[in-house]
């Protein structure tokens, strides 16, 4: 497990890129997330690292001889897949080198710093793309609070199905409709049926929702037929980002039986551009969620003392809403919820190991969605379905507007960060998407 602390985590270290030393910024020297973007004067997509309000072009850094030879070729690719496939020792070597190159104490003013400066680009001049070619996308359901709330609405007599505490429930999502933050989302059309109506109709969704989730990116992965033991699971976790699993609740309730989510989910899923390396999150590890007395212990293939001790992540995750009216009035986005990833019933390692337990092969760049991150409190519910209790208790916004579900023109903004006394705060950036009216 990548939980050992090293010099890249030292809270006192500063970058010579001054904007990275702003205490509330997302991208200090201790973060060093990876993404892919178009930068001025480069012919195609480049792998970049965020540092303060700048990005470092890793292809350019490799060409300048600044990167370890073992990773330089992977850093010249137009997506992160090759780097993801190299594995944890290579990721650590690259992170250590970037921390040296950008550290005020390790890269003094001189020819080397000048060479690094030549690879920096102001972040606003960069157009961020999806970080990887994503071949497979699976979405889990790992918050027992979310599962219980949703179950209570649809099956009041048995909110939590009997398999929940035994098996990390998930479904295969659609990789082709994953989009990067900032992509507008067209309200989908589909079959919906009012409970009183005899037959469904086809039309724009009236119950469009978001889901606040964490995305985990797969590293080397496994050969078909070869499971990944729980003790080795984190060697296959490259890093995490934010994910919005847009959901049409009316399509969902009509179509989900017997095979699960389909067109209610696959019209669009938004991803944040930055992937935070798992190593950057080492200071924010926590014990796995404490199961209630009487809950079954995980089956042996999902049980690991190290994962129980430090398999959780102390990540604060927030959702903000910006309506068209608020935009017109120049009002800041309103925070509608704040939760923490440490309440998830299953750890990322358990999700990954379960996914591969039948021999299913995971590949570099595949994405595992955690499922909606909801906690026990009302304030920590990660979707409108729960916040408005299926539209029956609409959310009141400060300007008097109300929301049961999303309106056209609403922008949903996910943010995340890790913060702990004695450590440097690091952020996940943002995942944004604005709802466009349904097409013709």
Among residues 143 and 323, whose Cβ is nearest to Ca ion? 143
Round to whole Å and give the CA distance between 45 and 57.
10
Per-residue contact string for residues 343-362; x = within reach of Ca ion by CB under 5 A: --------------------
Among residues 30 and 181, whose Cβ is nearest to Ca ion? 181
Residue nearest to Ca ion (CB): 245
The answer for residues whose C-beta is within 8 angstroms of residue 334's C-beta and 6 or more apart is 320, 321, 322, 326, 397, 398
* Catalytic-labelled residue, pool 146, 149, 236, 355: 146
User: 103 forms bridges with which residues in the sheet?
Assistant: 15
Round to whole Å and give the CA distance between 434 and 172.
25
Round to whole Å and give the CA distance between 438 and 200.
18
Shortest Å distance, C-beta 245 to Ca ion: 4
Q: Which stretch binds Ca ion (CB under 5 A): 38-46, 158-166, 208-216, 428-436?
A: 208-216
Q: Are 362 and 218 in contact (CB under 8 A)?
A: yes
Shortest Å distance, C-beta 372 to Ca ion: 5
Q: Are 7 and 99 in contact (CB under 8 A)?
A: yes
Tell me the chain's radius of gyration from C-alpha atoms.
Answer: 22
Per-residue contact string for residues 96-135; x = within reach of Ca ion by CB under 5 A: ----------------------------------------
Known active-site residue 149: no
Q: Which stretch binds Ca ion (CB under 5 A): 62-70, 116-124, 244-252, 398-406?
A: 244-252
Closest CA to 185 of 134, 256, 126, 245: 245
CB atoms within 10 A of CB 174: 16
Decide: is 245 part of the binding site for Ca ion (CB under 5 A): yes
User: 34 forms bridges with which residues in the sheet?
Assistant: 49, 275
What is the CA angle 55-61-65, rounded to 5?
A: 165
Per-residue contact string for residues 130-169; x = within reach of Ca ion by CB under 5 A: ---------x------------------------------
- What three-state secondary structure class fits 172? strand
Round to whole Å and give the CA distance between 260 and 256.
4
Q: Which stretch binds Ca ion (CB under 5 A): 39-47, 152-160, 243-251, 395-403?
A: 243-251
Decide: is 209 part of the binding site for Ca ion (CB under 5 A): no
Decide: is 411 part of the binding site for Ca ion (CB under 5 A): no
Round to whole Å and give the CA distance between 349 and 255.
30
**CA torsion angle for 180, 181, 187, 192 (degrees, to 10)?**
80
Among residues 277 and 433, whose Cβ is nearest to Ca ion? 433
Shortest Å distance, C-beta 145 to Ca ion: 14
End-to-end CA gap in the chain: 51
Among residues 148 and 325, whose Cβ is nearest to Ca ion? 148
Round to whole Å and give the CA distance between 361 and 279.
24
Q: Which stretch binds Ca ion (CB under 5 A): 25-33, 63-71, 206-214, 298-306?
A: 206-214
Instruction: Compute how many residues bind Ca ion; rule: CB under 5 A.
Output: 3
Among residues 236 and 265, whose Cβ is nearest to Ca ion? 265
Which position among 26, 211, 410, 411 is part of the footprint of Ca ion (CB under 5 A)?
211
Q: Cite the active site residues.
A: 146
Q: In the complex, which residues of this chain contact Ca ion (CB under 5 A)?
A: 139, 211, 245
């Amino acid at each position: 497990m990548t939980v050992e602390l090293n010099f890249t985590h030292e809270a006192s270290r500063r970058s010579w890129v001054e904007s990275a030393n702003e205490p509330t910024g997302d991208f200090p020297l201790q973060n060093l997330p990876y993404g892919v973007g178009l930068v001025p004067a480069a012919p195609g997509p480049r792998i970049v690292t965020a540092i303060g309000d700048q990005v470092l072009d890793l292809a350019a850094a490799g060409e300048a001889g600044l990167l370890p030879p073992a990773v330089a070729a992977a850093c010249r690719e137009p997506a992160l897949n090759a780097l993801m496939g190299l594995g944890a020792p290579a990721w650590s070597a690259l992170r250590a080198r970037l921390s040296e190159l950008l550290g005020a104490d390790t890269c003094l003013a001189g020819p080397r710093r000048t060479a690094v400066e030549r690879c920096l680009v102001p972040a606003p001049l960069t157009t961020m793309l999806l970080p990887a070619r994503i071949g497979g996308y699976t979405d889990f359901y790992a918050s027992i609070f979310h599962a219980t709330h949703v179950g209570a609405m649809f099956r009041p007599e048995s909110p939590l199905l009997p398999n929940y505490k035994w098996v990390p429930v998930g479904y295969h999502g659609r990789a082709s409709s994953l989009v990067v933050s900032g992509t507008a989302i067209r309200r989908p059309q589909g079959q919906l049926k009012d409970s009183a109506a005899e037959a469904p109709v086809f039309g724009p969704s009236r119950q469009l929702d978001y889901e606040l989730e964490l995305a985990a990116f797969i590293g080397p992965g496994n050969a078909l037929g070869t499971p990944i033991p729980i003790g080795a699971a984190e060697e296959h976790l490259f890093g995490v980002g934010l994910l919005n699993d847009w959901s049409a609740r009316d399509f969902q309730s009509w179509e989900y039986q017997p095979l699960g989510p389909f067109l209610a989910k696959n019209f669009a899923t938004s991803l944040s551009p930055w992937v935070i390396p798992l190593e950057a999150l080492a200071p924010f590890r926590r014990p796995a969620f404490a199961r209630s007395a009487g809950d079954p212990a995980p089956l042996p293939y999902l049980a690991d003392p190290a994962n129980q001790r430090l398999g959780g992540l102390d990540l604060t995750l927030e959702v903000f809403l910006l309506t068209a009216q608020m935009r017109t009035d120049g009002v800041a986005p309103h925070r509608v919820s704040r939760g923490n990833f440490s309440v998830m019933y299953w750890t990322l390692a358990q999700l990954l190991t379960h996914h591969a337990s039948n021999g299913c092969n995971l590949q570099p760049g595949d994405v595992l969605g955690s499922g909606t991150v909801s906690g026990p409190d009302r304030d920590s519910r990660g979707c409108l379905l729960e916040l408005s209790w299926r539209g029956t208790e609409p959310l009141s916004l400060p300007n008097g507007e109300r929301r049961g579900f999303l309106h056209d023109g609403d922008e949903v903004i996910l943010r995340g960060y890790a913060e702990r006394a004695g450590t440097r705060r690091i952020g996940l950036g943002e995942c944004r998407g604005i709802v466009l009216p349904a097409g013709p």
